[in-house]
Structure 1
């Protein structure tokens, strides 16, 4: 189901601002998420495979949001999106290797390693490994979807992708990413669905999913439509918990108005089951 959400987003944001309690937060920078000391001698890998953890110091059992930056898999830096600070959640923001210094699937493997690190370490930062949500914008949304849908990447770290509490790609490819296609000599206007496409991994037992895009007329070429097709195929296979939201009035640069929707999704999927 698609929704025009401008007023709804504003109301959600206001409610979050009112409800937010004043807490002490700590921001730890540039932690390596490599599983062990990197002995490969790859200086670029050691430089890029870092993450930050931003967390409330006085709460326990806290939900964590893993955020992957956008930039077409070619540029970008880890950051905490405006609107995610001081919201009572942990934010794990990740750098990963970029094209042309690496090619696929290196950046997907990096994303999986960062998510695995989060599962293995989040309790040190007052987090709950059962409440880890994976998200990102554009290329970051694509990485979130790939890590959560193709179970092989996390399985290499002995993590079950289905233990992710939710996937929330912001305006992410569901077909094979255009940079992956460029690496294969395929034009950006020629769609492809192979094992590097989230659509290739449609399955009933995937984590809960919230797809958010900008308005279909303002988005990058076909971005809303490919998300709509992914949504439909997930419904066809019987996935029980997926939503598609289209932000009226916004194009590809739709992070800020989508943040309250992300936070609401995290709250709803983090509720303890009733006894």
Structure 2
């Protein structure tokens, strides 16, 4: 089979999966194809009083002592999403020996900026204090998010006030991972996002790019080259350059066969051929001091 033919088939398959992921209950399809033999799951743990302040823990079946911990926040424009949709993320991380925590957080219209950051910090604080009871090592704590969730973890990692309110600091985070994150997006063009950030009076301090400092944890930033929702050059590239400018270790990766949505879906077993997202996450967690 020629390389050209393989490329055509690959692009066709990617297009088909992209259609599935934008059509009918896509994450349920991926989760239905995800094995459950690689992890033990503890569900519905409250980290706050609101029903949305709840998280699930995915533990490796055979965890090594002091397993690293990744707290994951999903995207959805801060107005949609559920941790139950991301079983495939928990499985992916657990399959690499990582204890995964997947947290819900309050969404618009229940709350606006910055309340979902308060929730994120509380989820991280709960994890730091309790994950040892589930075999995880709080001294090896990482944050990870996709899209709006990547924004959330960027703000937690870069703007110390949020973790400070939860009894922690960015120094407690060994590193953070952003997938297709919006880090510098004013003025807001997406009408669904505008009310979340009080458009047209969106506060400049809401932007992660304005909180870069040399105290920031190491970062792994990934994006799809063809992302039409979150500009990868301005957001991923811009933040990576800002971090390098203050000598913070940062790895910046772009993938050609993924879209904004399929970048996170590439963590799932059926779609790992799209991009080595899981390999890069695992390597980052393993190698970051």
The interval holding the TM-score normalised by the smaller chain is: 0.7 to 0.9
Residue 137 of structure 2 corresponds to residue 124 of structure 1: no
Aligned to 1:81: 88
1:242-257 alignment to 2 at 5 Å? 242-253=250-261, 254-255=263-264, 256=266, 257=275
Partner Cα separation in structure 2 for residue 193 and residue 223 of structure 1: 22
Summarize deviations over 1:76-107 as a string: whole Å, max 9, x none.
11123353342211010000000011111111
More RCO (CA 8 Å, sep 6+): 1
C-alpha distance after superposition, 1:120-143 (max 9, x if no partner): 111111111111110011011111
Contact 2:72 2:100 in 1 (8 A): yes
C-alpha separation between the residues in 1 aligned to 2:169 and 2:255?
32
Q: Which residue in the other structure is 2:218 paired with? A: 208
* Unaligned 5+ runs, structure 1: 1-22, 39-45, 271-275
CA distance in 1 between counterparts of 2:71 and 2:129 reads 13
What TM-score do the two structures reach when normalised by structure 1? 0.78
Distance 1:124 1:196, change over 3 A: same
**Displacement after TM superposition at 1:56 (Å):** 2.6
Where structure 2 has 5 or more consecutive residues not aligned to the other structure, the ranges are: 1-36, 267-274
Count how many residue pairs are aligned between Structure 1 and Structure 2. 234
Q: Secondary structure in 2 aligned to 1:84?
A: helix
Q: TM-score, length-normalised on structure 2?
A: 0.75
Instruction: State whether residues 213 and 219 of structure 1, in contact with CA within 8 Å, keep that contact through their aligned partners in structure 2.
Output: no
RMSD: 2.4
Q: Considering fraction of residues, name the structure with more helix.
A: 2
Q: What is aligned with 2:124?
A: 115
Match in the other structure for 1:171: 180
Given the alignment, which residue of 85, 89, 94 partners 2:103? 94
Instruction: Note if contact 1:171-1:224 (Cα within 8 Å) is conserved in structure 2.
Output: no
Structure 1 residue corresponding to 2:65, chosen from 60, 77, 93: 60
Structure 2: distance between partners of 1:264 and 1:107 = 29
C-alpha distance in 2, partners of 1:221/1:153? 24
C-alpha distance in 2, partners of 1:113/1:166? 18
Which is worse superposed, 58-67 or 202-211? 58-67
Contact 1:167 1:208 in 2 (8 A): yes
Counterparts of 1:113 and 1:176 in 2: how far apart (Å)?
25
CA contact (8 A) 2:180 2:230 kept: no
